[in-house]
């Protein structure tokens, strides 16, 4: 029996994010890539992993507004990013850039 790519199960990153450490590592990887739109999406994936309703309640932002702010190519305000990170149990940290 021949297998096709269409037969493979869909990959859902949210299912891989089981702890704050997982979420922090994932978000750090995305930040290091330097794509702001991807950061919004990654935060949305992490919020999905934690439970969008729980994150919305913790941030004081409606669930619908969170989905909108954290969709791919969204440009959320920094305070939204900060609130979501706090609700996820992670924080953004600045480190010195490594010499190239």
Label residue 93 by pLDDT band (50, 70, 90).
confident
Give the C-alpha separation, 22 to 64, whole Å. Answer: 25
Q: Is residue 1 part of a domain?
A: no
Mean pLDDT on 36-52: 90
Give the C-alpha separation, 30 to 32, whole Å. Answer: 5
- The tally of CA atoms less than 13 A away on the side-chain side of residue 37 is 3
Q: Is residue 3 part of a domain?
A: no
Tally of domains within the chain: 1
Given CA atoms 72, 78, 79, 83 in this order, what sign does their dihedral have?
positive
Q: How far is CA 32 from CA 9, 16, 57, in A?
A: 28, 19, 29
Name which of 89, 92, 42 is nearest 70 in CA terms. Answer: 42
Percent of the chain residues past pLDDT 90, beyond the cut: 52
| Range of the structural domain that residue 67 is part of | 19-88
Q: Is residue 31 part of a domain?
A: yes
pTM of structure:
0.79
Q: Is residue 98 part of a domain?
A: no
Q: Is residue 71 part of a domain?
A: yes
Q: Is residue 10 part of a domain?
A: no
Give the C-alpha separation, 74 to 30, whole Å. Answer: 15
């Amino acid at each position: 029996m021949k297998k096709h790519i269409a037969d493979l199960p869909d990959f859902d990153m949210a299912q891989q994010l089981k702890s704050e450490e997982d979420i922090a590592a994932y978000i750090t990887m995305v930040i290091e890539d330097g794509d702001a739109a991807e950061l919004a999406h990654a935060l949305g994936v992490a919020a999905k992993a934690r439970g969008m309703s729980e994150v919305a309640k913790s941030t004081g932002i409606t669930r619908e507004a969170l989905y909108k702010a954290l969709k791919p190519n969204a440009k959320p305000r920094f305070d939204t990013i900060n609130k979501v990170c706090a609700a996820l149990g992670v924080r953004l940290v600045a480190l010195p850039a490594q010499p190239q």
